[in-house]
A and B are shown apart, each in its own frame.
Chain A
């Protein structure tokens, strides 16, 4: 399952970013592998999506990157 499959309000654990660059950026933003995230908002027609991290802050990421990000739904 990938991040874009998640519906708004659902929670999941990040299993693999499948992109080292994205992984580094997200890790440094406090969202490393293994964190639980919640899908916060999806924009129209495959636009960027935003997620809520465990500490409650909101990160936006392009769908292109999000669809490579594998997750385990909780």
Chain B
């Protein structure tokens, strides 16, 4: 005698439910950290899968499908749900569906259940959010509900993690629940005609097929043309078809709910009281800006100690490795290419962790939806969307996770605009560059109380980036073609306020950070290695000549460098391939006030902008005639042009560099992510060209005006 679980053999369970129904809380409660993020085939939408280990030790794979209101999908992330349901070959096809019902929105969540029942999947109905329903004064007769829906039924509280054991029991009772498909019930002539070519089980399937045809990957081109012909032949109004279907179901379900649940009482909920303050026409914005200030304060101040620690650790490790490993090219590659590359990624982890901690807390509490609501008007004037606020704020830490955060913007045009302008927000990598030049040229005098002139200039740069993003957004809005099918709607739910769940916050931080480390990491390391090669090798004759010259020069003027080797390195850098590139682009950057050394630093910045500082440190570690010691700042301050004797880093050049770094697209990792998200090289190319042009002409004007 075998147990029923074995009889049904459940390996894959899909979680399905409305957004904010507590589906992800349930997923987190069942799987904990046994989660991984992948991609659905063909689309760059995160697929969260996890392993649920039942009390008998059996492991089941759970897949957390995107939250949807209806199977009539309207955006790419909603459409992801359709393939596992329809396509028999889909590897995510579930053996069982956990359908999460939101007790506080019973009728609406029953709509999804009603649709899912049109497919022959075993279903366990999971009722969540009973506490929220009770707060609204809604009492639900659970016995009657279970009886009426006639499916295995479990009431849980996903946030408090109660009732989860009952889920396992429910699965045990499932063995007999598998039904054989009955004969198709088709009402309309066009549905019959569809069925003759593509077998369907009921008219709901037929409606889904015709209305979603162009997005269903498992349909062949012939099948799609066939469905398009049906639409033409019967003059089907697809939108109306879907609306009517949902409307009919809702009518039936409203009557159903009336029998099992009481109507909401007229109580003022905590959410309504909080909204009086947080959405207040003046107070709401004041609170938002206060929170924003706090976010920036946290990103910059809280992250300083760990970032310093990481930086020091990496230089200690490099120094230690340089001592331990035999002196060879391979060692150099390892230390200057790979270790430095890894350091360039790890340094951003503190800021990304802090940023996503704050963002996911704001999101969990339900406040982020209010921010989108409050800022939508301002954003839409610039071709963006209330939902663009999260990518723009994230962009002040790093554009890579920020661009990945645009996925929930359903309008393609507004999403693309957000992607195109987000890198203009001053990211963490620009900060070291800003700081070095601000300390170089701006006196640290106080202007308004504790505010110094330096911090005002810094704030001005961040504001400049934000304004540039808005203005570019407005321009892209004019140029880009309008959305055709997916109209630019902004219809969203404002979820009720709740306390954040620390487990989900932790999981989000972990996922976003590892996403950044792996996605941006591999690109930054690859570029670091390429740059190391270009800076180490050059035309052999020139490299040898450079070495000879350096040795001779050191004998005459030993005060030129710390050691003979350092002078050789400097001369060889000039003779290397990258030095050639620096000289090659010098005519182009001369009008901006830059010499070939800055040119090299601009190029190396493509791996990551903060490399500018370390490159400058390498290049200017020698050639400093009056002293061997001193900080980079001192060296930059005293650097003179050997031909003219003028200071290299004059006010004009320094401001020009600040403007250049503010606008320039100098991040391969971002370009690669944009390519991945837009599935085309066209957009990252356009982004590169327009931002570089903005940087070049901005810097040109700055330099010409100031010099």
Contact = CB atoms under 8 A, between A and B. Distances in A.
A62 B380 contact: yes
A28 B78 CA distance: 13
A29 B136 contact: no
Q: Which 4 A-B residue pairings sit nearest by Cβ, starting from the closest?
A: A30-B108, A47-B377, A28-B70, A58-B494
Contacts of B251: 32
Contacts of A27: 243, 246-247, 250
B377 A29 contact: no
Given A28-B70, A30-B108, A43-B374, A59 B247 contact: no
A40 B275 CA distance: 10
Contacts of B380: 62
27 contacts: A20-B240, A22-B491, A24-B239, A24-B243, A25-B489, A26-B491, A27-B247, A29-B69, A29-B108, A43-B281, A44-B377, A47-B376, A48-B376, A55-B138, A56-B136, A56-B138, A56-B264, A57-B493, A58-B271, A58-B493, A58-B494, A59-B493, A60-B376, A61-B490, A61-B491, A62-B489, A62-B491
A1 interface: no
A48 B263 CA distance: 28
Contact of B239 (A21, A29, A46, A54): A21
B104 to A, nearest CB: 7
B104 A24 contact: no
Interface string B628-655: 0000000000000000000000000000
A26 B247 CA distance: 10
A50 B373 contact: yes
Contacts of B281: 43-44
Interface in A39-74: 40-41, 43-48, 50, 54-62, 65
Nearest to A59: B493
Contact of A28 (B246, B490, B494): B246
A41 B493 CA distance: 13
Contact of B69 (A28, A45, A47, A48): A28
B105 A57 contact: yes
A33 B251 CA distance: 10
Contact of B386 (A24, A40, A48): A48
A46 B376 CA distance: 10
A62 B372 CA distance: 12
Contacts of A43: 279, 281, 373-374, 376-377
A62 B106 contact: no
A15 interface: no
Interface in B53-82: 69-70, 72, 74
B374 A21 contact: no
A13 B380 CA distance: 28
Interface in B94-131: 104-108, 111
A24 B70 CA distance: 10
Given A21-B239, A24-B239, A45-B377, A55 B247 contact: no
Nearest to B385: A62
A57 B269 CA distance: 11
Contacts, number: 119
A60 B105 contact: no
B102 to A, nearest CB: 9
B692 interface: no
A44 B283 CA distance: 12
A60 B74 CA distance: 17
A60 B376 CA distance: 10
Nearest to B281: A44
B678 interface: no
A25 B68 CA distance: 11
B243 A55 contact: no
Contacts of A61: 490-491
A40 B250 CA distance: 23
B549 interface: no
Given A25-B74, A43-B374, A55 B107 contact: yes
A43 B285 CA distance: 10
B72 to A, nearest CB: 6
B487 interface: yes
Contacts of B511: none
Nearest to A41: B279
Contacts of A26: 491
Contacts of B614: none
A43 B243 CA distance: 29
Contacts of A22: 489, 491
B68 to A, nearest CB: 9
A23 B494 CA distance: 19
Contact of A46 (B108, B136, B377, B494): B377
A60 B377 CA distance: 12
B344 to A, nearest CB: 41
Interface string B243-275: 100110011000000000001100001010001
Interface in B486-526: 487, 489-496
Contact of A47 (B104, B269, B374, B493): B374
Contacts of B70: 28
B373 A32 contact: no
A43 to B, nearest CB: 6
A55 B105 contact: yes
Given A41-B275, A65-B491, A55 B108 contact: yes
A45 B247 CA distance: 33
Nearest to B108: A30
Given A20-B240, A32-B250, A46-B377, A55 B104 contact: yes
